[in-house]
Amino acid sequence: MQHKNILVFPCGSEVGLEINKSLKDISFITLFGGSSVSDHGLWEYENYIPNIPYITDNEFIDKLNAILDKYNIDYILPALDAVVLKLSEVRDSLHAEVLTSSKEAVDICRSKKKTYEKLKGLDFLPIVYKSPNDVHQYPVLMKPAVGQGAQGVKKVFDREELEFELAHREEEQVVCEFLPGTEYTVDCFTDRNGRLLFASHRSRRRIKNGISVNSFLEPKDERIQKIAEEINERMKFRGVWFFQVKKNAGGEYRLMECATRVAGTMCVERARGVNLPLLTVFDFMGYDVTIDPQFDYVETDRALSNDYDLNFKYDELYIDYDDTIIVHDRVNESVIALLYRCQNRSIPVYLVTKHDGDILKSLQERKIMPELFTGLIHLDRNQAKKDFIHPSAHALYLDDSFAERREIGKEFGIKTMGVDMVEVLLNGVKM
């Protein structure tokens, strides 16, 4: 796999922190976090770049290119809507590729007004009022045409209040029907050929400062799938994107907004084995991807950390060595924590590896106790792992290779996880 250096900017946002969790343990990626202001990214990113110029800086492109050259950055993953738009506009002038949708799609999604105009005629759009004269029922919802995180959104109860708000707000506003029902975020992935490969919706059960802090994976809904397909047909998306819908008084879905970036609570999808930032990287590298969710039940509740409930228990662990226990030529501390958790709970752990050289010697050099493993299965490169393991019905297989995971999962019908999901195992999976 060709190595890639990736800059996440700005890295201290909720989105930037989720991208870090998604990509930091991927063997062929060296992740850099950058910010224009001091933020939490300093504490989370091993490679942190401070003082990246503001996107409004007249010399932004030149200064950013100097940073890209200094750190040999291959890709930029923008983590804020305004940054997504700016980078999409200047992408041809940058010394690294921007991992986002087309400039046209980004520009449209940045404005709710443009979004509604682009999707005009589709039956899931909310009623939008051009002026107070058009409003036939209150309350209504007023929100900035360009905004994020529920900033500036207000429920308006009568004409007098609406006229006052319109007169005293400088930025362009959108006035639409009030939607009293449940709000959902739909996480999506579109490949470089314009094919919608994934659409999954989750409820936003508790929201704080516009961020979903409790989110629940909802059962598949054909109506949601249809809406995603219709939006995808009209937009030039690529990679990860999402949209939000809310039910009206009649229980019908109505579109709120679309965004061409990672969502902060996409950890719900990662918890079930769908790493949308990583899939985006693969797509821009020219690889065709297969999406294979492992779980149908996930709930996450967010405070200072992510907690998960997969309604899943395992009684055996099979684990790979290279690029799983050892990542970036260093011991993966999270995996070691997992091994000791299994040790503490008397769960047998089997090391299954095609490691070049003496695996016992390598373990010794890394100060990893062979006694942590119930068994050690050392294979040649041309041998298939599935031919040498005998998992129980509730075993778990952990490996960085999607191909190996898919083969093992299909062969034995057991759950499989990538190294990016170790956090999920440590923060909530019952044992």
How long a stretch of residues is the chain? 431
Under a CB-based contact definition with an 8 Å cutoff, are residues 400 and 278 in contact?
no
Q: Report the amino acid identity of residue 410.
A: K
pLDDT at 431: 56
State pLDDT tens for residues 35-50.
Answer: 999 998 998 999 999 9
Under a CB-based contact definition with an 8 Å cutoff, are residues 19 and 8 in contact?
yes
Domains of the chain in start order, with CATH, are: 4-99 (3.40.50.20), 127-177 (3.30.1490.20), 183-306 (3.30.470.20), 313-426 (3.40.50.1000)
pTM: 0.86
Q: Report the amino acid identity of residue 399.
A: D
State pLDDT tens for residues 220-279.
Answer: 999 999 999 999 999 999 999 999 999 998 999 999 999 999 998 999 999 999 999 999
- Alpha carbon separation from 272 to 269, 324, 376, 390 (Å, rounded): 5, 18, 28, 24
User: CB-side exposure of 375: number of CA atoms within 13 Å?
Assistant: 13
Going by pLDDT thresholds of 50, 70 and 90, the confidence category of residue 210 is confident
State pLDDT tens for residues 138-148.
Answer: 898 888 888 76
User: CA-to-CA distance for 254 and 243, rounded, in angstroms?
Assistant: 11
State pLDDT tens for residues 330-344.
Answer: 999 999 999 999 999
User: Average pLDDT in the 404-412 region?
Assistant: 97
User: CA-to-CA distance for 336 and 355, rounded, in angstroms?
Assistant: 18
- Alpha carbon separation from 193 to 81, 88, 151, 278, 284 (Å, rounded): 24, 19, 34, 17, 11
- Alpha carbon separation from 218 to 205, 223, 295, 296, 309 (Å, rounded): 11, 13, 11, 8, 14
Give the closest residue to 174 by CA, choosing from 160, 161, 186, 162.
162
Under a CB-based contact definition with an 8 Å cutoff, are residues 320 and 373 in contact?
no
Alpha helices in 170-303 (DSSP H): 222-234, 267-271, 276-284
State pLDDT tens for residues 376-403.
Answer: 999 999 999 999 999 999 999 999 999 9
Under a CB-based contact definition with an 8 Å cutoff, are residues 23 and 31 in contact?
yes
pLDDT at 428: 72
